[in-house]
């Protein structure tokens, strides 16, 4: 399969592209690192060390400013403007990585954002910066602003689900919803990342923690292993599937895994648990810990 159609590319492939000066208008590398508030500053880290030729994609900037705390999708025009400023056009192959110690955390979110806005030529770097460094590939602190290009985004609304969609699905049970948060947060026994949000899950949700999709080095599992993961969790890949998490970020690991198995229409509940907890009546919060008070 042609490299630009692969959802995941190797460090070796990208290192060869860097070495042969292919990074530019037709091949763009993005650091899409994101961390919970106060943990690490991804932009500062980017300025200190990144893959040569990469630009920084700020998930806190490229979002719907009305719901900044939920990191929800921006409008098509705002996305077009933002990625155009990064030198990306509709003919650019985009490679996304992040600097998570796990190998991958937020890169699949950026990958999904391009896809939901109609840009299919986007890939995730297998194992992220962690494996890029482990394999001895170069990094730099040099930053250069790419020349702005025109990008036309067109939102595929069917891939984005709302709170109302999820509430309706809880009643109809027509769609399987996979929650990618750590098991303790799903069960309600470990704290959520956001203040004012208690852990737990909504009725009918299926738990597959996003780390399950990665091997011990932080690279993505084979498609055979991914198929087995879904099956063991009770997910029928022949039936409709949505993904959710805390902020709509790690849920994109579910969508990436499903995409690699040939499922192209898995939707994301963009507001995810942070929105659901704040809006749902207490009886819709399932938790082994302290539930939502009336």
Q: Where in the sequence numbering do the catalytic residues fall?
A: 245
Residues 6+ apart with CB under 8 A from 29: 14, 18, 23, 51, 53, 54, 55, 95, 96, 97, 125
As a whole number of angstroms, the distance between CA 54 and CA 44 comes to 14
Name the E strands within 208-269: 241-244, 267-269
What SS3 class is residue 161?
strand
d(CA 65, CA 119) in angstroms, rounded, equals 22
Q: How far is CA 275 from the centre of its chain?
A: 17
Query: If DSSP codes are grouped into helix, strand and coil, which group holds residue 137?
Result: coil
Please report where in the chains the tokens 């990585």 appear, as a residue: 97
H helix or E strand, kind and range, residue 97: strand 93-97
Maximum alpha-carbon separation in the chain:
61
Q: Is 230 left (phi over 0), alpha (psi -120 to 50) or beta?
A: alpha
* Under 8 Å between Cβ of 79 and 153: yes
């Amino acid at each position: 399969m042609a490299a630009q159609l692969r959802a995941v590319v190797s460090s070796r492939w990208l290192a060869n592209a860097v070495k042969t000066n292919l990074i530019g208008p037709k091949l763009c590398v993005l650091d899409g690192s994101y961390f919970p508030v106060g943990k690490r500053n991804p932009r500062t880290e980017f300025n200190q060390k990144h893959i040569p030729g990469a630009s920084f994609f700020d998930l806190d900037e490229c979002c719907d400013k009305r719901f900044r705390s939920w990191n929800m999708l921006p409008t098509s025009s705002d996305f077009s403007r933002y990625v155009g400023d990064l030198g990306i056009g509709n003919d650019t192959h985009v490679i996304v990585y992040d600097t998570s110690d796990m190998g991958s955390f937020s890169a699949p979110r950026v990958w999904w954002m391009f896809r939901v806005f109609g840009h299919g030529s986007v890939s995730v770097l297998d194992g992220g910066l962690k494996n890029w460094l482990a394999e001895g590939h170069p990094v730099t602190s040099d930053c250069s602003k790419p020349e702005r290009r025109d990008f036309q985004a067109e939102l595929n609304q069917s891939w984005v689900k709302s709170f109302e969609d999820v509430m309706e699905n809880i009643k109809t049970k027509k769609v399987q919803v996979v929650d990618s948060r750590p098991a303790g947060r799903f069960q309600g026994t470990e704290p959520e990342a956001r203040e004012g949000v208690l852990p737990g899950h909504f009725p009918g949700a299926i738990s597959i923690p996003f780390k399950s999709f990665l091997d011990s080095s932080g690279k993505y599992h084979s498609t055979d292993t991914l198929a087995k993961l879904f099956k063991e969790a009770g997910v029928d890949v022949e039936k409709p599937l949505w993904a959710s998490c805390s902020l709509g970020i790690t849920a994109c690991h579910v969508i990436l895994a499903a995409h690699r198995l040939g499922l192209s229409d898995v939707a994301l509940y963009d507001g995810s648990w942070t929105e659901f907890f704040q809006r749902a009546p207490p009886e819709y919060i399932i938790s082994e810990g302290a539930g939502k008070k009336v």
